[in-house]
Structure 1
């Protein structure tokens, strides 16, 4: 039953991406046609000017000081697999704040697969867990530091 649901979801996702791709192609064709006809119609009385295409560089995977700028992940082996498999569904900040050991990461991944439609990670599961445990290990401190320098008082009954 679970396999059938997974296959159905996988099919629906593929179908959605095909539709998105088709709409993108149609929009690109319409945009190209509009540009062609508007340029040739010369609607203004201004003389034609030369348009110079300036290259626009967008580096989505830029790393500075060992940090992947878009996600905030530490640049280390397994980072790309973690980005590709985790940030499709949620923010990298959610991953970074949940510092767990390998056993807890494995059970969290299993929970996401059973309840949140996470796909099978295959060999990437070990790579991702190793990356997270190595770079975001559990913190040894509790939720907050112990209270100090507090003047305690007795409640009156």
Structure 2
């Protein structure tokens, strides 16, 4: 058996895999272009008579019940500055899970500037710190939150 005959099954297998991959790519591209509109907006899966457009960018900046949906931040003065300066480097969740006083937030900012290459926040620093201290400040709650809206009854 010569060398070309030994490699023949490998070459055939490779050829079949390439053909399958090409066919899968053709199918995926045809599905993509079927559901893609030239305006750049996505199409929902609706009938031919009704086409429903939705704008992805508008949806990411939506606010419901006072909460910015994409980040989870409270909608208030300073929110946009926090989004612009904090979520470039880390998740909004990292901000919302912390509870610090103004001094704590300033110390954290100084630490990030010293060790994490955070830029100078300039005039935005006081806006950011005020927002964070007001909405993500410490909560004195003890072991657990007090019970609310409880209908107490007397034991017999």
TM-score normalized by structure 1? 0.56
Runs of 4+ with >4 A deviation: none
Structure 1 Cα separation of the partners of residues 103 and 65 of structure 2: 30
Following superposition, the deviation at residue 52 of structure 1 comes to 5.5
Q: Which residue of 1 aligns with 2:66?
A: 66
Where 1:128 maps in the other structure, the secondary structure is helix
Q: Which residue of 2 aligns with 1:94?
A: 94
Where 2:61 maps in the other structure, the secondary structure is coil
Structure 2 Cα separation of the partners of residues 89 and 141 of structure 1: 31
Where 1:119 maps in the other structure, the secondary structure is coil
Q: Which runs of 5 or more residues in structure 2 are unaligned?
A: 1-35, 43-54, 145-156
Q: Which runs of 5 or more residues in structure 1 are unaligned?
A: 1-50, 146-157
Following superposition, the deviation at residue 137 of structure 1 comes to 1.6
Following superposition, the deviation at residue 53 of structure 1 comes to 3.6
Q: Which residue of 2 aligns with 1:85?
A: 85
**1:39-58 paired onto structure 2 within 5 Å:** 53=38, 55-56=41-42, 57-58=55-56
Aligned-CA RMSD value: 2.0
CA-to-aligned-CA distance 1:62-97 (integer Å, 9 cap, x gap)? 111111110000000000000000011111111011
Q: How many residues align?
A: 95
